[in-house]
Amino acid sequence: MKDYNHRVKGLLPGGVHYNFHLPWEETPIHFLKANDSRVWDMNGEEYLDLYARFGALIVGHGNKEYNESLKETIDRVLSVSHCDMDAEALELIAKYIPSAEMIRFGLSGTEIVQNALRLARAWTGKNRFVRFEGHYHGNADNIMGGRVPRTGEPIPSDYFGDLKGTAGRAKDSLESQSYLLPWNDADLLEELFINNGDDIAAVITEPVCVNGGGVMPAPGYLKKMRELCDKYNVVLIFDEIITGFRMGLGGAQEEFNVTPDLTTLGKAIAGGGVPVSALVGKKEIMQLLVDKKVIHAGTFNGYPLGTAAVKTTLEILSRDNGLAMTQMNTKMSMIHDILKTEAEAVGLPLVIQGPPACASYHCCNDILQTTADYTFEIMSLDIILHNNLSKNGILVSSISRLYPNISLNMSDVNWFRERVGKALLDTKEIYD
Ligand code: PMP
């Protein structure tokens, strides 16, 4: 694998395809094959895959039904703009996502978020949007990174490049387009609306802040957000690119019974094998696309392989009342329990938070109540545990996230049980 990394590194900046590949891994693992929840690297080492391609892989590696659907599509109709399975894919999304009165497909989460913001600006005639600390909405200049200034707790600038910020963005692209607020504080949002509501087109939020550490919304927070957006004529956008089709079929909006005006979907919507994103929302706002007042474009939007993947994924996930997801969550809860029990046994503080299918562990004593609680000290320990898990045959995502897929079975749970103790012990030694 060393030679292989050397070959790749000369051509691929950093030897990785994206900067959010864990920068502390000096030698990225290259994989040869995968099946269900297991992957094998080029040295033949086997891992339990709770990384799941940043959460996109929900159907599992080598899912027969999914693969057959994609193969059948490739052989039948590789590249046309509109295809026969569009209707089923659209109907399934509309059936399960409460805010999905109309739907447009894209490819990446990044682009579909930008389209949601554009629609919100056009609908309200206003310019800026509100975003929240710790939330991630894609690889674009106007939305990535930043932190609300507060005293203490300096964040090292090499950590994800200033918390997922970046050099080289267009001047003032963040400052001129958005307001950045701490999350889970409805009073601050109201204050901002009172002072600046005239210039605010949208609020964009992850309804559960998975990217900020798996922080759940405070009771009533999303409802209050909904009320404030209605009062100040602001479009409410839920970014459910992670929670959609992981936190149940209806996403976080169904779980919390708060319907946004627009929702962005991605990752698991197409099972994990091919890229598809979707912008869904209220008919009256989406009508701007029908009237061609707002442009939404993309060479590959609605490509056959993508819509086939969406259709088949949602068929698999919705079958028998979502049985596959229920079973996945049950197994995942077992893994959570093992992780907590084993951490306690070695004396390492550890909490697990967030929905079962996209939860995070943190090496600390208390559940994070807001994204600001996710201190650099906690992140550092989380990273150490992450690395120790991967050395012991368990891959997790984005520092500390545990993403199962529906193939997760008891043999995977046992694999986890047999290996996690060593990873925790090695982490505890550094903690001490
Ligand atoms: N929104 C959220 C909540 C995400 O987690 C991500 C990706 N991690 C994105 C948007 C961007 O999606 P993509 O990487 O497909 O551009």
Average pLDDT over residues 31-50: 96
Checking if the pLDDT of 26 tops 70, the result is: no
Whether 124 and 273 map to the same domain: the answer is yes
> Measured in angstroms, how far is the CA atom of residue 342 from the centroid of ligand 1?
32
Within 13 Å, how many C-alpha atoms sit on residue 287's CB side? 5
CATH number at residue 337: 3.90.1150.10
Bridging pattern class, strands 277-281 and 401-402: unpaired
* pLDDT score, position 164: 55
pLDDT at 186: 96
* Whole-number Cα distances in Å, 352 to 76, 136, 144, 381: 45, 20, 26, 14
CA 111 – CA 264 distance, rounded (Å):
10
Same-domain pairing of 241 and 363: no
Residues 337 and 224 in one domain: no
Q: Are residues 132 and 147 in the same domain?
A: yes
pLDDT at 83: 95
- Phi-psi category of residue 175: left, alpha or beta, with phi > 0 → left and psi -120 to 50 → alpha: alpha
In this model, does residue 427 exceed pLDDT 50?
Answer: yes
Same domain, 215 and 250: yes
**Ligand 1 atom nearest 20 alpha carbon:** 8
Task: Check pLDDT > 50 for residue 11.
Answer: yes
Give me the pLDDT at residue 163, please.
52
403 and 359 in a single domain? The answer is: yes
**pLDDT score of 146:** 65
pLDDT of 156: 46
Q: Which atom of ligand 1 is nearest to the CA of 275?
A: 15
Atom of ligand 1 nearest to the CA of 277: 15
Question: From the CB of 138, is ligand 1 less than 6 Å away?
Answer: yes
Ligand 1 pocket mutation, candidates 110, 135, 253, criterion most atoms within 8 A of CB: 110
Give the tens place of pLDDT for each residue, 133-170. 889 999 999 998 766 544 444 444 444 444 556 778 88
State whether 68 and 56 are in the same domain: no
Number of Cα atoms under 13 Å in the Cβ half of residue 104 = 27
Chosen domain end from 268, 291, 316 = 316
| Annotated catalytic residue within 164, 267, 282, 331 | 267
**Residue 276 alpha carbon to ligand 1 centre in Å:** 11
**Residue where a domain stops, chosen among 299, 316, 333:** 316
Q: Is the pLDDT confidence value at 48 over 50?
A: yes
Number of domains into which the chain is organized: 2
Confidence at residue 166, expressed as pLDDT on a 0 to 100 scale: 77
Distance 141 CA to ligand 1 centre (A): 14
Q: Which residue has the higher pLDDT, 131 or 375?
A: 131
Q: Is the pLDDT of residue 91 over 60?
A: yes
- Is the interface score ipTM higher than 0.95? yes
**Listed residues 316, 335, 358: the one ending a domain:** 316
Clarify whether residues 116 and 202 are in a common domain.
Answer: yes
CA distances from 322 to 51, 96, 245, 319, 325 (A): 22, 11, 10, 6, 6
pLDDT of residue 372: 80
Residue 204 beta carbon below 6 angstroms from any ligand 1 atom: no
pLDDT per residue as tens digits for the range 98-114: 999 999 999 999 999 99
pLDDT, residue 27, reads: 73
- Within 8 A by CB and 6+ apart from 287, the residues are none
Regarding whether 198 and 329 lie in a shared domain, the answer is: no
The percentage of the chain sitting over the pLDDT mark of 70, rounded to a whole number, equals 93
Answer whether 54 contacts ligand 1 (Cβ < 6 A): yes
Q: Rounded mean pLDDT of the chain? A: 92
Mean pLDDT of 266-293: 98
Closest CA to 184 of 205, 162, 154: 205
Long-range contacts of 337-343 (CB under 8 A, 24+ apart): 338/413, 338/416, 338/417, 338/420, 339/416, 339/420, 342/417, 342/420, 342/421, 342/424, 343/424
Task: Report, as an integer, the average pLDDT of 41-61.
Answer: 96
CA 43 to chain centre: 30
In the predicted model, is pLDDT for residue 62 greater than 60? yes
To the query of whether residue 136 is one of the catalytic residues in this protein, the response is: yes
Residues 40 and 118 in one domain: no
pLDDT of 422 strictly over 70? yes
- Looking at the fold, whether 172 and 136 belong to one and the same domain comes out as yes
Question: Domain range for residue 212?
Answer: 64-316
Quote the pLDDT of residue 8.
87
CATH number for position 306: 3.40.640.10
Q: Do residue 363 and residue 225 come from a single domain?
A: no
